[in-house]
Structure 1
Amino acid sequence: MNKKTLVIGASEKRNRYSNLAIHKLLKNNHEVLAIGTKNAEVNGIQISTELYHYKNIDTVTLYVGLKHQKEYYDYIISLKPKRVIFNPGTENSKFYKLLKENKIHFEVACTLTLLATNQY
């Protein structure tokens, strides 16, 4: 099943996990949107610095550390995704609480592992 996924913290640098996630999501036939700190392109996917109000987002996968997540709280909640994945290093109990209050499911997991084990 194709899950429209927004990668937040996307990077054009090949050694970054967000970059690997974009490649793996595409390989697994998921629609990918990406937001990062600079405009770039990864495997045909435009990384935008703009916080567009995308529709029908299934999953937001975070690659932004705790220190920089607060600026995305309202944005992510406004998208009403079915779930938010907190990849290693992005854990945030305050954000978990906000997501629960807004009835948005979240997982503390690794997107790459979920994809590799067919649990995405």
Structure 2
Amino acid sequence: MGKKTLVVGASLNPARYSNLAINRLKAHGNEVKAFGLKPGEVNGVQIDTELMPYKDIDTVTLYINPSRQAMYYDYIIGLKPKRVIFNPGTENQEFYNILKQNNIDFEVACTLVMLGTRQY
């Protein structure tokens, strides 16, 4: 099994990048957890609408606007992921600084491109 990944900002809409990421992460053998505003299922992955105390999260990949990220800072830090990926449109200098203070790596990158180029 690959890296256990939490998709934050998961969507049921198949045209959304977070939905594509869930599908591609699974196709690449990663265990996927998902958090979003609407409950549902994408490719066998349940989208949770409550912040769950997931264990052993390797990567958090963000698909939420920087203006909405602050309410999740403590939650994400508390998961103790190895890294956080800031997908296009989610860049957030304030959160980068918080992650650095907590010794959590981060990348400003596209999860889909990383998977496609085997850099994930």
Q: TM-score, normalised by structure 2?
A: 0.99
1:1-120 to structure 2, matched below 5 A, reads: 2-120=2-120
In 2, Cα distance between the equivalents of 1:22 and 1:86? Answer: 15
In 2, Cα distance between the equivalents of 1:22 and 1:37? Answer: 15
- How many angstroms does 1:110 deviate by? 0.1
Gaps of 5+ in 1: none
In 2, Cα distance between the equivalents of 1:21 and 1:27? Answer: 10
Q: TM-score, normalised by structure 1?
A: 0.99
One-letter amino acid of the structure 2 residue matched with residue 67 of structure 1: S
In 1, Cα distance between the equivalents of 2:49 and 2:32? Answer: 15
The C-alpha deviation readout for 1:73-111, integer Å capped at 9, x for no partner, is 000000000000000000000000000000000000000
Query: RMSD over aligned Cα, in angstroms?
Result: 0.7
In 2, Cα distance between the equivalents of 1:49 and 1:71? Answer: 14
- How many angstroms does 1:67 deviate by? 1.2
One-letter amino acid of the structure 2 residue matched with residue 114 of structure 1: M
Runs of 4+ deviating beyond 3 Å: none
Gaps of 5+ in 2: none
